[in-house]
Structure 1
Amino acid sequence: MESKCQCCCSHTHSQSKEKEKSIIKKWWAPVLSGVFLLLGIIFQHQEWTWFVNPVIEFLWFLIGFLPVGLPVMREAWESILQKDWFNEFSLMALASLGAFYIGEYPEALAVMLLYSIGEMLQDKAVNQASRNIKDLLDVRPEQVDVYRKGVLSTVSPREVNVGEVIEVKPGERVPLDGSLQNPYAVFDTSALTGESMPRNVSEGGEVLAGMIVSGQAVRIQVTKPYDHSTLARILTLVQDAAERKAPAELFIRKFARIYTPIVVLLAFLIVALPALVAAVHPEFDYVFNDWLYRGLVFLVISCPCALVISIPLGYFGGIGAASRTGILFKGSNYLDAITRINAVVFDKTGTLTTGSFRVTSIQATDIPEDELLSLVASVEKKSTHPVAQAIVHYASGRGVKPAIVTSLNELAGYGLEAEVEHHQVLVGNIRLLTDRQIAVPEELADCVATVVVCAVDGKYAGQLLLSDTLKEDAVDAIKKLKALKIDNIQMLSGDKQEIVNIFAKELGIDKAYGDLLPEDKAVHLEQLNSVPGMSVAFVGDGMNDAPVLALSDVGIAMGGLGSDAAIESADVVIQTDQPSKVATAISIGRATRRIVMQNIVGAITVKVLVLLAGACGFATLWAAVFADVGVALLVVLNSVRILRKKF
C-alpha cells in the first residue's frame, strides 16, 4: 500500500515538474525579449552615453528581437516555400523588418513581442475553450471495479474486455456500455440527454456509458469496448463535427486568402502613391520613412487571424452547448442550416406521440379470439414497429403463445404476409386487405382508432384496435416553434386521416396528412422543397424515416439514444424523446450565428478604423499590435460565451 502511495506521489510530482518545464519553455522567449525591450526603452529615455552609439542600440534591440522574432520568421519562410506568400507570419515579418529599416527599433521588437504574447494567449483561450467543451461531454470515470476470478479489481475502463462484469456504486457514472445483471435498477441519464431523466432498466436491459447509478450498486456485463461506447461515439461525433464547415467558415477562409494580398498591395500603395504625387508636385513634402511607417501600421492591423480562429471556435462552442442539452449536430454546416429553417415537418408516431400503443379491443369472426391473437402476434413478433410490439406484449399478458412462422414477407406501408402452420396469413392495415380484394367490415373505415386487420387463407378473420397518446411536451413543442416565428408546421402519418386530424387539433397543427406510405412522405417533402425560399426540417424517429430525413434540408432524428440508425441517417440527433428540443436546437443555431456575425462585424469594423487611422498617420505600431491582439482575444471570448447561455 505504501509503495502504491509512493508511486502515486512520484507520478504526481513528475507531472508537476513536466508542467513547470513546459511553462518555462513556452514563456522564456517573450520574458527575455520583454526584458530587453523594457531596458532598451529606459536606456534611450535616460540617454546613457554607451547606448547612444547607433550600433550598440541596434544590436541590443536585435538580440531582444531574436527569441520572439526567429520562430515567426521561420514560420513565414516555411509558408513561402509552400507558396503561401501572404499570411500573418509574413505580415509581421515585413512589419518588424520595415521598422528596423527606418530605425524604430523598440517598435520593431514590440511588434514581434506583442504578437507572440497575443498568439500564446489566444492559443490558450482556444485550447481552454476546446477543453471546456470536451470536459462538459467526457464524463467517463477513469477507474472501474471489474470481477476477475471472483475478486473485484480496480482498473482503467480501457483495460476491461467485452464479456467481463463490472460493478458500479450508487452515484457513480457507468464507464462502459453493457447489459444489467441485477433484477432491476434506476439510472440518471443527464450526461447523455442533458436532463436528469430517470431511466428504469430491468435485468438484461441496455445500460449506456455516462448514466449515473441511483439507489444501489449494480453489476453490468460489458458489451462494447471503451472506445466504442455510446458516450465515446457522442464525443467523436461532436469532435468530428468541426470538420464539416459552415458557409461562414468557408467564406472567411477564402476571404483571408484574397484579403491578405490586397492589404499588402494597399500597404505598398500607401508608400508608393505619395512618392508619385511628390514627383508630379515638388511642393508636396514626401518623407519616405514616414510613409513607410504608415504602411507598416497598415500591415500589422490587417492580420486576419482573429477572424480565422474565432469563427470556427464560435461554431464549435455552439455544438458544445447543444451537446450539453442532449442535441448532437453532425457539423457546423447543419448548425448554420437550422437557422434558415422556416418549415418543420413531424412524423407522428414515436415523434409527437409516445408510440406506446395499447390494445383496446380485439374482435374475431369465425375463429376464437385467442387463436386470432396467436396468429397476429406470431407474424408481428419480429417487427420493431410500436404497434407490433404492443400486440406481442398484449398476447403475452393474456398468456397466448405464438404459433410457428415458416415464412415472412414485409410489405412496406401495408403490413406483413406470412405462412403460419400451413395457413396464409395477412396482418396489417385495411389497405393491405383491400389491395388483395378481401372484404373488410365497412364500420372499420370510420373507426378513429389504429386498426390492425387479419386475413387467413384469403378470408377476413378479425381486427385489433389500438390507441396512442401524445408526448408530455408535444403541445409545448409546437408553441415554442410558433414563438420562433415558424408557422409552417406539418404532420405526416401512415394512420388514417381521421386519427391524424384528432391529434393535429390537440397540437394546434393546421396541416396534417394521413394515409401516407413511406414513398408518399418522400413525395410530400420533395413538393415542399420545390417551393422557392422554403427550407424544411423533417423530424422523425431515425429508424424508418431515413429516406425522408435525407430529402429534407435538415434531418432531425428523435430518441437517438444508443441508436446507430438515427445517428447515421440524421443531420441532427436529439437524444431524448422530447419534440420540444427541436425549438431548442433552432434557438442554439440562431444564438451561434449571432455570435459569429458579431465576431465578423466587430473584428472587421475595428480593423478598418485602425487601418484608416494608420494610413492617415494617427496610429502607431504599438496601437496596431494592441488592436490586433485585443480584437483576437475579444472575439475568442465572445465565441465561448454561448457555453454559459441557458436554453
Structure 2
Amino acid sequence: MTCSGCEGKLRKLLQSLRLISNIKTSLVLAQAEFDFHGVDIANLIKNIERKTGFTCTRATQAGDVLDIIVGGNAQALATKQNLPLGVTDLAVLDRNLVRVSYDPRIVGARDLLSNPFFPSAKLAPIAAPSTIASGRAHVRATCLMTLLSVLLIVPVLILAWAPLPKHDILYQTVSLVLATIIQVVIAGPFYPRAFNALVFLGTVEMDLLVVLSTTTAYAYSVVAYAYLVAGRPLLTGEFFETSSLLVTLIMVGRSVSAFARQRAVESISIESLQTPTALLVGKESGQVQEIDARLLQYHDIFRVLPDMPVVTDGVVTAGQSEVDESLITGESVLVAKSAGVSVIAGSINHSGTLTVRLTRLPGENTINTIGTMVDEAQSGNSRTQGIADRFAGYFVPFILLIAVLVFAIWAAVGKTARHQSATVACINAMTYAISALIVSCPCAVGLAVPMVVLIVGGVGAKNGLIFKSAEAIENARNISHVVFDKTGTLTQGKLSVDSEEYFVKDSDSLKPMILGLTINSKHPVSCAIASHLKLLDVLPLQVEDFVVVPGSGIEAICNGNFVRAGNLDWLGVSESTMLEIDTSLGLTRFCVSIDGAVVALFGLRDILRPDAIDVVNLLKKRSIDISIVSGDTKEAVHSVAKQLGILGSRVRFRYSPGDKQAYVKETLARKNSVVLFCGDGTNDAAALAQASIGLHMNEGTDIAQSAADAVLMRPSLSGIVVLIDLSKAFYRRVAFNFAWAFTYNLFAILLAAGALPHARIPPQFAGLGEIVSVLPVIAIAMQLRWVKF
C-alpha cells in the first residue's frame, strides 16, 4: 500500500465480505488484521489480490510457526493425509522449505525436527518479522523498477533535448520503443490496481490519476508519431519524454517514500531485542548446550551468563544477579534477581549467572507481546485518522474535476485569447491538466496520522509506556481528571505485616489454615499475609472450593470449616470494638473468620511510590483534578491522600470494583471530562474499561491481559506525564502535517494549472510531487525519536 487510497480500497473490500469482522488496517505497516470466520484462507487471499491488485501474504497463524528445510521435495509432505500430532497446518514455501504451524503445548519444536515425518529436517535461517520482511521486499521491488525506468529514460531524454543531427523518424522510433517499455513494464502495474478499484469497489484512487495522465501523454505521442511517419507532422511535435519522465519521477518518489517509511518502521521495532540463541541446560545431565532460541520448549531450563540478554520470560531457579530491564521497561535502575523471581525477555544480565525455568516461548514472550500491542495501536483508527481518510476519499475525485476545469479553461484561452488552432489549444491545455493530475498528492494526508502514531508508539515503548489503542494517544492530551487506585498504584503494593492478633488460644493451629487460604490468591494483601506466615515456617493446609470475591476477600473450605478472609465490612464486623487498631498509622486491616467467628486480625503497612508526590503535584499544576478510589479502609486511604495533598472530598474508600466503575462513570458525566483511571489491574478491570483512558501499572510479564488502553512497564508514576506529553507531541505533529499537506497541494495545483503568472510546473516534472509532499511528513514524525520525555 502506497497511499491512503490503497488503505481505503482494502478496507472497503474487507467490509464487503460476509465472513470477515473486526477489521483493522495500517497504511504504514502495509497490513490488515481481521477475524475470518470461513475455512478457505487461501481462496480469500486470492480474492483480495484479484480485486485490489495487491500481492498478499498471510502474516500470522494460530499457534507457533516454524520454517523447516527438509530433504527431498517438500511438496510430497503437503500431500500426506495425517500430519504429526500437534501440527495444525503445513504450507510449502519452496522446493525444500515448509512452514509448520503447531501447538507448542502438544509438541515442541525440537520434537518436530526429530519427527520422521520431516526427513533430514533442519531450521531455516531466521526471517525478519512479517511486517518488516514484506516492507523490505516492497522497497527492493520499487527501487528495482525505478532503476530500470531511469536506465530507459536516459536515452529518451538525450534524443529529446540534446542538439543531435536531424533524424526525426529514427529518434522518435527509438523513443517510442523505450517509452512503450516504460509504459508497459513500469507503469503497467498501475492499470489493474486502478481499474480493479474502480470496477469492483467503485473507488477512485491515486493510481487512476497516474494512469490517466501518463496514458494521455503517451497516447498523444503515439498519434503524433504516426502523423510524423505519414509525412504530416503536427505543429506541437511528439513528447515521449513527458510520459516517460512522468512515470520515472513518480517511481522515484514512491521509492524514496517507501524507503523512508521502512526506515521509520524498523527504527521503532522492538522485535530486534529478541536474542537468537539460548543456553539449554540438560534435564538429566545438567550439561549446557547452545541452541537456536526457536527450539526452546515448555519445561525447558536455560542459563543466562553475565552480560548476556535473557532469551525469554521465565522464573529463576538458581543463582543471584542484577538485571538491566531498561530496554523493556525504560527503568535504568538494576533489578535484583534470585530464586523464585521472574525475569523478562530482552533484559540484560549483569554480575551473576542465573538458571531460569522457561514460562513463555520466544514467540509469546514480553518482547513479542509488546510488539503485537504496538502494531495493534498502529492498526487502530482514531477520530483524527477518520477525518484524514474522509478527506482523502474526496481528494482524488476533486482533483479529477480540477483537471477537467483546467483543460477546459486553457483550451478556451488558447482558442479565443491566443487565437491558436483547436488542436494546438487542446494539446497545450492537456499539458496543464496532466500537471494538475500528477502534482497533487493525497499521500501526505494519508500518512499525516499513522506515521506519527507509529513513532509515538515506538518512543512510548522505549520509555516503558505501551499503547494498546490509537485513541489513547490522541485523547491523553485532553485529560481533565486522573483517578488513582491506591494499593499497587500510588503505593508500591509490597505490603508488610505490621501487627497481628489472634482471638483463639491455639494460634499455631490456625496459621496453617490461614496460609492455605491466602496462598491461593494473587491479591497484594493475601500475598503479604502468605509471605509473612512462610517466614514463620508455617506449612499450608489443603483447602477446597476456593473462591475470590472481587473487592471483598476470599473464602474456602478447610478441614470441614468455612473460612473467610477479607475486609471488615464484607465480614460484617466493621463495628466490632475488639478489632480496633491504631488508625493514625493508616494500616490496612485484614480479618479472618471461621464459621462466622472472627479468629484473626492483621494490620498491614504500605509505602508510597518514590515519585508519587512529585507526579501528583505536577498534575495539579496542569489543572488536572486528582481522586483516589480504593477498597481499603478509611484510615489507610486518607493517610495516603494526606501525604499527597489530595482533598478529602476527592477520596473514596471501601469501594468495590462496581463502585469504582460507577465513580469513573459519574466523573465522565461532567462537561468536557476526559478521565484517566490508573490501577494495577487487581479488581480494576471494570474501571479501566469505563474510563476515557485506562492505564495499567504493570510490574511483570503479564501485560496483555488488562482491559487498559495503555500499560506502564516500569514501577513509576512518571509514565502518566510521559503519556500526556507524548499525546501533545502527537497532536502538534499531526496538525503540522495537515497544514503542510494543505499548503503543498494548494500551491502545487496552482503552479501546475498555470494560475500564477510566469510560473508553472511542467508535466514531465510533476511526478516529483510525492517526494516533496511526503518527506516532510515522515521527517517531522521521525524527529520525535530524539525528543526527551
TMscore range, shorter length: 0.7 to 0.9
Pairwise CA distance, 1:209: 1.5
Q: Conserved in 1, the CA contact under 8 Å of 2:197 and 2:204? A: no
1:141–1:404 CA distance, 2 compared to 1 (3 A): closer
1:67 corresponding residue in structure 2:
182
Match of 1:559 among 676, 698, 708: 698
Pairwise CA distance, 1:522: 1.2
1:56–1:42 CA distance, 2 compared to 1 (3 A): closer
Separation in structure 2 between the aligned mates of residue 24 and residue 414 of structure 1, nearest angstrom = 59
Q: Conserved in 2, the CA contact under 8 Å of 1:560 and 1:573? A: no
1:493 paired with 2:630, answer: yes
Secondary structure at the residue paired with 1:91?
A: helix
Counterpart of 1:57, as a letter, is Q
Match of 2:444 among 306, 312, 323: 306
1:289 corresponding residue in structure 2:
427
Secondary structure at the residue paired with 1:578?
A: coil
1:393–1:85 CA distance, 2 compared to 1 (3 A): closer
1:66–1:340 CA distance, 2 compared to 1 (3 A): farther
Q: Conserved in 1, the CA contact under 8 Å of 2:182 and 2:247? A: no
Q: Conserved in 2, the CA contact under 8 Å of 1:539 and 1:556? A: yes
Match of 2:678 among 539, 547, 554: 539
1:619 paired with 2:757, answer: no
1:413–1:34 CA distance, 2 compared to 1 (3 A): closer
**Paired residues for 1:399-438 under 5 Å:** 399-403=537-541, 405-434=543-572
Secondary structure at the residue paired with 1:138?
A: helix
Secondary structure at the residue paired with 1:316?
A: helix
Match of 1:391 among 521, 525, 529: 529
- Note the alpha carbon deviations across 1:389-418, whole angstroms, 9 max, x for none: 212222222344445545544443332344
1:61–1:320 CA distance, 2 compared to 1 (3 A): farther
- Between 533-542 and 235-244, report the one with greater CA deviation: 235-244
Q: Conserved in 2, the CA contact under 8 Å of 1:61 and 1:106? A: no
1:92 corresponding residue in structure 2:
210
1:7 corresponding residue in structure 2:
none
- Between 607-616 and 193-202, report the one with greater CA deviation: 193-202
1:88–1:66 CA distance, 2 compared to 1 (3 A): farther
Counterpart of 2:529, as a letter, is I
Q: Conserved in 1, the CA contact under 8 Å of 2:319 and 2:355? A: no
1:47 paired with 2:163, answer: yes
Counterpart of 2:326, as a letter, is S
**Paired residues for 1:262-277 under 5 Å:** 262-273=398-409
1:37–1:442 CA distance, 2 compared to 1 (3 A): closer
1:205–1:177 CA distance, 2 compared to 1 (3 A): same
1:595 corresponding residue in structure 2:
733
**Paired residues for 1:444-523 under 5 Å:** 444=581, 448-483=586-621, 485-510=622-647, 511-523=650-662
- Note the alpha carbon deviations across 1:478-527, whole angstroms, 9 max, x for none: 234335x2511211111223322221122233322112122111111111
Secondary structure at the residue paired with 1:509?
A: coil
Pairwise CA distance, 1:64: 4.3
Match of 1:349 among 487, 490, 511: 487
Separation in structure 2 between the aligned mates of residue 298 and residue 625 of structure 1, nearest angstrom = 10
Q: Conserved in 2, the CA contact under 8 Å of 1:345 and 1:489? A: yes
Q: Conserved in 2, the CA contact under 8 Å of 1:146 and 1:166? A: yes
1:147 paired with 2:281, answer: yes
Moved over 6 A (4+): 21-25, 276-279
Separation in structure 1 between the aligned mates of residue 183 and residue 577 of structure 2, nearest angstrom = 86
TM-score, with length taken from structure 1 = 0.88
1:157–1:563 CA distance, 2 compared to 1 (3 A): same
Pairwise CA distance, 1:109: 2.2
Q: Structure 1: give runs of 5+ residues left out of the alignment.
A: 1-10, 13-20
Separation in structure 1 between the aligned mates of residue 291 and residue 464 of structure 2, nearest angstrom = 29
Separation in structure 1 between the aligned mates of residue 511 and residue 374 of structure 2, nearest angstrom = 46
Q: Structure 2: give runs of 5+ residues left out of the alignment.
A: 1-124, 127-136, 221-235
1:62–1:261 CA distance, 2 compared to 1 (3 A): farther
Query: How much is the aligned-residue C-alpha RMSD, in angstroms?
Result: 3.1
1:252 paired with 2:401, answer: no
1:24–1:540 CA distance, 2 compared to 1 (3 A): closer
Separation in structure 2 between the aligned mates of residue 288 and residue 86 of structure 1, nearest angstrom = 25
Pairwise CA distance, 1:245: 2.0
Separation in structure 2 between the aligned mates of residue 42 and residue 266 of structure 1, nearest angstrom = 33
Pairwise CA distance, 1:375: 4.7
Separation in structure 2 between the aligned mates of residue 162 and residue 462 of structure 1, nearest angstrom = 41
Pairwise CA distance, 1:143: 2.1
Counterpart of 2:276, as a letter, is E
1:219–1:395 CA distance, 2 compared to 1 (3 A): closer
- Between 454-463 and 512-521, report the one with greater CA deviation: 454-463
- Note the alpha carbon deviations across 1:202-224, whole angstroms, 9 max, x for none: 22432221121111233223333
Pairwise CA distance, 1:442: 7.5
1:361–1:631 CA distance, 2 compared to 1 (3 A): same
1:634 paired with 2:773, answer: no
Counterpart of 2:476, as a letter, is I
1:30–1:137 CA distance, 2 compared to 1 (3 A): closer
Pairwise CA distance, 1:296: 1.7
1:212–1:67 CA distance, 2 compared to 1 (3 A): same
Counterpart of 2:258, as a letter, is D
Q: Conserved in 1, the CA contact under 8 Å of 2:491 and 2:609? A: yes
Separation in structure 1 between the aligned mates of residue 190 and residue 785 of structure 2, nearest angstrom = 33
Pairwise CA distance, 1:352: 0.8
Separation in structure 1 between the aligned mates of residue 429 and residue 611 of structure 2, nearest angstrom = 66
- Between 572-581 and 179-188, report the one with greater CA deviation: 179-188
1:155–1:67 CA distance, 2 compared to 1 (3 A): farther
Pairwise CA distance, 1:264: 0.4
Pairwise CA distance, 1:36: 5.2
Separation in structure 2 between the aligned mates of residue 147 and residue 382 of structure 1, nearest angstrom = 30
Separation in structure 1 between the aligned mates of residue 656 and residue 774 of structure 2, nearest angstrom = 53
Q: Conserved in 1, the CA contact under 8 Å of 2:362 and 2:368? A: yes
TM-score, with length taken from structure 2 = 0.73
Separation in structure 1 between the aligned mates of residue 475 and residue 538 of structure 2, nearest angstrom = 51
Pairwise CA distance, 1:76: 2.8
Separation in structure 1 between the aligned mates of residue 483 and residue 562 of structure 2, nearest angstrom = 38
1:378–1:628 CA distance, 2 compared to 1 (3 A): closer
Match of 1:122 among 257, 277, 297: 257
Aligned residues: 623
2:192 corresponding residue in structure 1:
77
2:266 corresponding residue in structure 1:
131
1:16 corresponding residue in structure 2:
none
Report the structure, 1 or 2, having the larger helix content.
1
Secondary structure at the residue paired with 1:516?
A: coil
1:574 corresponding residue in structure 2:
712
Q: Conserved in 2, the CA contact under 8 Å of 1:438 and 1:459? A: no
1:513–1:95 CA distance, 2 compared to 1 (3 A): same
Pairwise CA distance, 1:41: 4.2
1:34 paired with 2:155, answer: no
Q: Conserved in 2, the CA contact under 8 Å of 1:433 and 1:439? A: no
Q: Conserved in 2, the CA contact under 8 Å of 1:164 and 1:222? A: yes
2:349 corresponding residue in structure 1:
213
Q: Conserved in 1, the CA contact under 8 Å of 2:479 and 2:674? A: yes
1:513–1:275 CA distance, 2 compared to 1 (3 A): same
